[in-house]
């Protein structure tokens, strides 16, 4: 049996950050990082942006840390491997090859997986779920061979992918059940402007349409909508959201309906076991309530906090103003704060036409979020400070 002081399950940015933080505060403790993909943790956010668009694949730019970093810091890596069983009481993890690791402390960082819509044809050839490097490479190859590409969804991943493919001169359509893109985050006026911006850039928009199924013998040929329309498509990218990878801890206290419940220190109710990133359902001390975020910056910061807490050398609360950003065509948009509820009032400064504006989102008289389009890093930092002040934090 293998014995380790720390076991990190998940090879994304959350898991990598946990390892970095552990080594910052504990130079000697034994650490094993287990990840399903064969490569070290990489910048997954690039897949729908520059990685997809660049003619020369920037593989060297993808890794967050090179394998040499893990080796030099004496972190054992088990990439291309899965933890198939986790015994919480005995602190044992069984790997896919049958090996067993006994650990003192562990961190769950398994991330999330794409939601597969419950319709016919989801397994047809050329139906893509953009989640890893192999998906991105396959998408680029398929798009170059087919004339019609359709993106199912209207969220961040859907918009970024559609914009990148259009910039690559492909014929692109988007199907979204709402009337506006990014409707989960934007107010109706800003959403209408963004949707029009995609149309001006040559994206065919099928708004207010819901997916009913994919058609084809072995390879996708058509997409059927619930309204009865049939749309020709050679490639479909399904971006209908993601769900946390909690199968390993299903039916345990580490799994809940909204993720893995953790304290403000990112520790589950099982002492010594932590959860970060797409899994962590955490109390938000700044904005209030409990939330789960699925963005790169969140997983990065949570990994650093959890790793420090695991060593026992630090006791750090996770207190971050929620933040994420997106890039579509020549637009850069930063979201600072809570955009999970539609605002009752929006204060817009600047203009859509110049692609330079700041929109403050209020619930009643309370500032809840600041959206910046074309904002500088300094302006984003100022927005964070303004929101903290408004919250009295």
Rounded Cα distance, 31 and 260, in Å:
22
How many percent of the chain have pLDDT more than 90?
89
Q: What's the average model confidence in pLDDT over 41-50?
A: 92
Grade residue 392 by pLDDT with cuts at 50, 70 and 90.
Answer: confident
Category of 127 on φ-ψ map: left (φ > 0), alpha (ψ -120 to 50) or beta: beta
pLDDT value at 285 more than 80: yes
User: Tokens at residue 244, please?
Assistant: 């946390």
Give residue 146's pLDDT: 87
pLDDT in tens, 299-323: 999 999 999 999 999 999 999 999 9
Q: What is the pLDDT of residue 53?
A: 87
User: Of 16-25, 41-50, 289-298, which one has max mean pLDDT?
Assistant: 16-25
C-alpha distance across the termini of the chain, in Å: 48
261-277 confidence digits (pLDDT tens): 999 999 999 999 999 99
pLDDT in tens, 214-255: 999 999 999 999 998 999 999 999 999 999 999 999 999 999
Contact 315, 309 (CB under 8 A): yes
pLDDT the model gives residue 140: 87
**What is residue 55's predicted lDDT score, i.e. its pLDDT?**
65
Average pLDDT, the chain: 94
97 token code pair = 């090859």
Quote the pLDDT of residue 60.
Answer: 72
pLDDT at 56: 63
- Per residue in 175-190, pLDDT (tens digit) is 999 999 999 999 999 9
Beta bridge partners of 76: 32
Q: Which residues pair with 242 in a beta bridge?
A: 114
Quote the tokens at residue 246. Answer: 């909690």
Question: Where is 281: in which H helix or E strand?
Answer: strand 280-283
* Mean pLDDT confidence for 1-25: 96
Sheet holding 260-261, edge to edge: 260-261, 280-283, 290-291
| Locus of tokens 């345990």 | 252
Q: What is the pLDDT of residues 50-98, one digit of tens each?
A: 888 886 655 677 889 999 999 999 999 999 999 999 999 999 999 999 9
Taking only the tens place, the pLDDT of each residue in 20-35 is 999 999 999 999 999 9
The mean pLDDT of 331-356, rounded to a whole number, is 96
Triad 62, 27, 104: Cα angle to 5° = 95
Could you give the CA distance from residue 10 to residue 15 in angstroms, rounded to a whole number?
5
User: What domains can you pick out in the chain, each with its CATH number?
Assistant: 2-113+242-311 (3.50.50.60), 116-238 (3.50.50.60), 330-391 (3.30.390.30)
Sign of torsion, CA 128 129 130 136?
A: negative
Q: What residues pair up with 101 in beta bridges, in sequence order?
A: 2, 93
């Amino acid at each position: 049996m293998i014995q380790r002081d720390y076991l990190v399950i998940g090879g994304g940015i959350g898991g990598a950050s946990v390892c970095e933080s552990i080594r910052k505060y504990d130079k000697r403790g034994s650490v094993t990082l287990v990840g399903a993909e064969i490569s070290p943790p990489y910048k997954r956010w690039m897949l729908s942006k520059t990685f997809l668009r660049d003619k020369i694949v920037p593989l060297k730019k993808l890794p967050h840390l090179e394998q040499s970093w893990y080796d030099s810091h004496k972190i054992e890596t088990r990439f291309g491997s899965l933890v198939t069983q986790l015994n919480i009481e005995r602190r044992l993890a069984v790997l896919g090859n049958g090996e067993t690791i006994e650990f003192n402390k562990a961190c769950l960082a398994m991330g999330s997986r794409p939601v597969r819509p419950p319709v016919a044809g989801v397994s047809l050839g050329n139906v893509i779920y953009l989640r890893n490097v192999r998906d991105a490479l396959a998408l680029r190859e398929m798009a170059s061979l087919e004339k019609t590409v359709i993106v199912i969804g209207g969220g961040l991943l859907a918009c970024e992918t559609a914009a990148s493919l259009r910039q690559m001169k492909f014929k692109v359509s988007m199907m979204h059940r709402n009337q506006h893109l990014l409707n989960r985050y934007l107010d109706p006026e800003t959403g209408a402007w963004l949707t029009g911006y995609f149309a001006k850039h040559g994206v065919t928009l099928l708004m207010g349409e819901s997916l009913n199924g994919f058609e084809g013998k072995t390879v996708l040929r058509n997409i059927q909508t619930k309204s009865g329309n049939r749309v020709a498509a050679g490639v479909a990218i399904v971006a209908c959201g993601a769900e946390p990878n909690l199968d390993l801890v299903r039916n345990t206290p580490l799994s809940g309906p909204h993720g893995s419940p953790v304290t403000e220190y990112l520790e589950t109710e099982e002492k010594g076991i932590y959860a970060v990133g797409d899994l962590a359902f955490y109390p938000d001390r700044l904005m209030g309530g409990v939330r789960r975020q699925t963005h790169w910056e969140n997983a990065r910061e949570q990994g650093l906090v959890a790793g420090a807490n695991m060593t026992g050398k630090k006791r750090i609360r996770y207190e971050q103003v929620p933040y994420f950003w997106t890039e579509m065509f020549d637009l850069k948009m930063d979201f600072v704060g809570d955009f999970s509820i539609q605002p009752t009032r929006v204060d817009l400064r600047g203009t859509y036409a110049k692609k330079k504006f700041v929109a403050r989102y209020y619930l009643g008289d309370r500032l809840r979020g600041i959206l910046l389009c074309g904002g500088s890093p300094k302006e984003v930092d100022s927005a964070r400070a303004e929101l903290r002040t408004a919250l009295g934090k």
